[in-house]
Amino acid sequence: MAHHSLKILPCFFEAVLDGQKTFEIRLNDRDYKADDTVTLLEYSATLGPGEQGYTGRACDRRVGFVTDFAQQPGYVVFSLLPVSPA
C-alpha cells in the first residue's frame, strides 16, 4: 500500500466532497493500486490577482478498483472510496 498526495482543481474537489465524483483519471506515474490512499489537495490557478496555489483544503480517500481500459496510453481510472477508520 502506498500513499499519494494529489493536486485537484476546485470544481473537481467540490464534486468529490459532495459525492458526485467517485473516480479519478490520472497518469499512472505512481503505479496506483487498490487500497492505496490518496490525499486530494485543492489547488487553484486563480486564488487572486496573479496568485495560484493550494487553498488549504484537503480530503482523504482510498483507491478502489483500478483499470486502464479504454484510457489514453499511460493513464488509469480508479474509484475513490471512503478511508476506513483505523
pLDDT single digits (tens) 35-67: 999 999 999 977 666 667 899 999 999 999 999
69 DSSP 8-state letter? T
Instruction: Give the pLDDT mean for 3-18.
Output: 97
With respect to residue 63, please indicate whether it lies within any of the assigned structural domains: yes
Question: What is the C-alpha separation between 52 and 70, in angstroms, rounded?
Answer: 33
What is the residue range of 8's domain? 3-81
Name the pLDDT band for 4 (thresholds 50, 70, 90): very high
- Domain count within the chain: 1
The Cα–Cα gap between 19 and 37 comes to 17
- CATH number of the domain that residue 17 is part of: 2.30.130.30
% of the chain at pLDDT higher than 70: 93
Tell me, yes or no, whether 43 lies in a domain.
yes
